A and B are shown apart, each in its own frame.
Chain A
Amino acid sequence: MRRKTNAALMLVLAFALIASSCAGGGTGEYDLVAEGTLTVCSEVPYRPMEFEEGGVYVGFDVDLMQAIADELGLEMEFINTGFDAITTGSAMQGGQCDIAASSITILPEREENIDFSDGYFDAEQSLLVKKDSGITSLSDFSGRTLGVQSVTTGAMYAEENAPADTEIVAFDAGGDLFVAMEAGQIEGILQDLVVNGDRLVDDDTVTIVETYPTDEVYGLAVQEEGKESLLEAVNDALQTLRDNGTYDTIFAKWFG
């Protein structure tokens, strides 16, 4: 009766598969997706917060997460996912990573699906245009095209404050914005100051004409339930890094 054994085995396997996919697995103190490693999701590139250089991910968020992982006695792995997978929490819920570090502004509506750490970075919005465009403020965008990244605080700011007849064009990836401006698809970019500011270093034909303080801060994000111990440990680590000067060292490295 070899066949019957096979079928029984398959049944057991099928059950095991379903059971494991439902339970989610996870081991150790913080219930990590990979034991001994803090797996971090991020939407790359978003210079200088997270981007790729020489085949590895670098940036402010990368250094900060490495320092946090060191504090917790863990390895750190940085992986690239979509920004929407992070803000909806599906990247963490689906077991891709433990925590997201992706210049995520802490917003009440986002807290429905993810839990934020303490804020670790002040976010300001800014308006980047071509120097020769003659544009000096957001109100000049009447009848012009303005680029934003989909479902970001920059996009929300633009929708609320740009003239009514501004054509607001939303792109999925922040990195596409500079390309689209170079290609003449958009005449300005409204997004986080750190990223627009970094562009000035590489491109001397653009300038930042306005900045908008929005009282917003970036936070690290974990899934809504089940990661409380990790979140607590991360918040403690953040505080330690601020106290012992490591945070300032990392900040100075990227923003001099």
Chain B
Amino acid sequence: MKKGTKQRLRRGTLYALLLAIVFAIALLADWPRIQRAFFNPEIAVEMFPEVFTIAAKNTLLYTFFSFAFGLVLALVLALMKRSTIRPYRWIATTYIELFRGLPALVTIILIAFGLPIALGVSIPGGTLGKGAIGLGIVAAAYMAETIRAGIEAVPRGQMEAARSLGMSRATAMAFIVLPQAFRVIIPPLTNELVLLIKDTSLFFVLGTTVVTKELTKFGRDLMNTTFNGTPLIVIALVYLIITLPMTRLVAQLEKRAARAR
């Protein structure tokens, strides 16, 4: 058989397979039942405006504070990792390896329940405080490596030139190197932010009141009282409303960064 014929044959069968599967699903699925179970307009309407004013608001609030705390901690860790003082490097490496290796849920439980029980230390700020610190600790481990890579991507000559102008190492790092590093790492950091949006769904473990529910818990509780899948579809759409613009933004930023290089 000629190579071209073979290829056409294979593409043809793949198309046929796809069509067959789509047809099979369309024919076999119980559409009215799926509509009742997942697309019930009455239940969906009931969710507004709380799905925005409480659930989405909390998701964004939790994300913002987790990210802010994580970013500051990550910056410190990245600088420690590049320190000339060895123990600093050891601490940073241990931290990063530890919290990259632990599930975020474990870290959040450790902060919220482990610390108070074991040491009598309670982090203030309720769900927001405990959750944001727990999740921020995990996010910091990932972002520290990103920031370090960003700093290393800035040519050494930048630091040397700044030093030769009489700047101290700290000033040069803060005003010359870091701004350039951040330009490189904004896309991966935005990615981390999108991951955090989804990870705030873990905050359910801290216990929730009517006003502290985030999107996932809000949807699940409604599913359990209406016995219907519609709330999950609604919160899925709200998540996409939040995350899609951000992932598109990352793609744009990456394109721009590639052009600038």
A residues with a Cβ closer than 8 A to B are 3-4, 7, 10-11, 14-15, 18-19, 22, 84, 87-89, 109-110, 112-113, 147, 150-151, 167-172, 176, 179-180, 182-186
Contacts and interface: CB of A to CB of B under 8 A. Distances in A.
13 contacts: A7-B14, A11-B20, A14-B17, A18-B28, A88-B224, A109-B227, A151-B225, A169-B207, A176-B205, A179-B113, A183-B113, A184-B116, A185-B112
Nearest to B227: A113
Given A88-B224, A182-B117, A169 B208 contact: yes
Contacts of A171: 205, 207
Nearest to A114: B227
A47 B122 CA distance: 27
Contact of A186 (B6, B28, B207): B207
A4 B209 CA distance: 59
A29 to B, nearest CB: 26
A11 B221 contact: no
A183 B224 contact: no
B13 interface: yes
Contacts of B14: 7
B24 A14 contact: yes
A3 B208 contact: no
A7 B16 contact: yes
Contact of B13 (A3, A19, A170, A186): A3
B170 interface: no
Contacts of A184: 116, 122
B205 A183 contact: no
A170 B117 contact: no
A183 B122 CA distance: 8
Interface in B13-45: 13-14, 16-17, 20-21, 24-25, 28-29
A83 B31 CA distance: 27
Interface string B183-226: 00000000000000000000011111110000000001101110
